[in-house]
Amino acid sequence: MKLFYLALSVFCLPLALQAQISSNVAFDRQTRAIISAGNIDAGKSKAVSMKCNKCHAENGQGDEDVSVAGHPSTYLYKQLQDFKDKKRSGIMVKKVKKLNQQDMADLSVWYASLPFAAGMEKGGDVAKTLVYKGYPKRMIKPCSTCHGQNGEGGKYDSPALTGQDRDSFIEMMEAFKTGERTNDVYSRMRLIAQPLTTEEIQAVADYYSAAGTAE
Ligand code: HEC
Ligand code: HEC
């Protein structure tokens, strides 16, 4: 009998892992109330006192790191909570440990209030097709349906893409592609990234990445 349960648990473990939910954040009334109680000025000073600026720079666009400027506040809040819940891995997991709900709301509305850098719109036809048309036969929806016509981000949890650091952009696409990053609810980004080729990922990265960093 013991052996049976052992076999059963070995069999079920991968299933249990797969069934793990991608995020604990739902944009219900309570969560939206927490985020709208965020204070931009408080966020601005917390970004200094909590040393977020060290990596993300004063303008949120970062020097080399990922840009946190100009995303929807709901997206930023979700990312911070996801790091806290270890739904995303990496250096940020440590950085959010001491943040409470109010800190996260303040920092989210602060970074959301900052403008994102203009993109270069490079990447040629490969990028344009992916951004505006997608490939219905390959089940790839256009990026613009969720991330906006100008890469400005969408509702709630769809981040802005325009002005993102090129290397960070590629890293994030690879992380969704390989399943290292799984905090996208309903696998929306994993399903997009998986079928993309390296060339296609580089093309959309060129398209959206910040002026000055794209080559
Ligand atoms: C030591 C450098 C460092 C510090 C300090 C830091 N961050 Fe980050 N942050 C990163 C990196 C790098 C990423 C990209 C994710 C990754 O590679 O793990 C990131 C990602 C993020 C993201 C998600 C952005 C996205 O679009 O995916 C948010 C939001 C964020 N940081 C906010 C903050 C806040 C708020 C603070 C201060 C409490 C902070 N960070 C402090 C390095 C840092
Ligand atoms: C069906 C909606 C949808 C489509 C289509 C889509 N995305 Fe996304 N994307 C999302 C969502 C939602 C997230 C945020 C997931 C999370 O962390 O909660 C995201 C996150 C991202 C990120 C990470 C940004 C960051 O700051 O961490 C990148 C990069 C990205 N998408 C690129 C693309 C590209 C390029 C395309 C087109 C080839 C695309 N997306 C198409 C919904 C979509």
pLDDT tens figures, 106-153: 999 999 999 887 777 788 899 999 999 999 999 999 999 999 998 999
What domains appear along the chain, each with residue ranges and CATH number?
29-112 (1.10.760.10), 124-208 (1.10.760.10)
How far, in Å, from the CA of 47 to the mean position of ligand 2?
A: 25
Locate the ligand 1 atom nearest the alpha carbon of residue 96 and give its number: 38
61 lines ligand 1 (CB under 6 A): no
Full-model pTM: 0.87
Q: How is residue 140 annotated by DSSP? A: B
How far, in Å, from the CA of 190 to the mean position of ligand 2?
A: 9
Cα separation, 155 vs 73, in Å, equals: 10
Locate the ligand 1 atom nearest the alpha carbon of residue 80 and give its number: 29
Q: What is the structure's pLDDT at 183?
A: 96
Q: What is the structure's pLDDT at 174?
A: 98
Q: What is the structure's pLDDT at 215?
A: 39
Of all protein residues, the one whose alpha carbon is nearest to atom 23 of ligand 2 is 172
Q: What is the structure's pLDDT at 11?
A: 52
Nearest alpha carbon to residue 81 among 146, 31, 116: 31
Cα separation, 80 vs 101, in Å, equals: 10
Q: What is the structure's pLDDT at 8?
A: 52
With H, G, I as helix, E, B as strand and everything else as coil, classify residue 135.
strand
Locate the ligand 2 atom nearest the alpha carbon of residue 79 and give its number: 17
Q: Which helix (H) or strand (E) is 65 found in, with range?
A: none
Structural contact between residues 209 and 170, judged by C-beta atoms closer than 8 angstroms: no
How does the average pLDDT of the chain come out, rounded? Answer: 89
Question: pLDDT class for 213, splitting at 50, 70, 90?
Answer: very low
Locate the ligand 1 atom nearest the alpha carbon of residue 68 and give its number: 24
Question: pLDDT class for 66, splitting at 50, 70, 90?
Answer: confident
Q: How is residue 28 annotated by DSSP? A: -
Single-letter code of the amino acid located at 115:
P
What does the buried/exposed string (b/e) look like for 151-176 if buried means 16 or more CB atoms within 10 Å of the residue's CB? bbbeebbbbbbbbbbbebbbebbebb
User: What sign for the dihedral angle of Cα 105, 106, 111, 112?
Assistant: positive
Question: pLDDT class for 211, splitting at 50, 70, 90?
Answer: low
Q: Which residue has the tokens 């109010």?
A: 102
Structural contact between residues 208 and 162, judged by C-beta atoms closer than 8 angstroms: yes
78 lines ligand 2 (CB under 6 A): yes
Of all protein residues, the one whose alpha carbon is nearest to atom 17 of ligand 2 is 184
Cα separation, 44 vs 111, in Å, equals: 8
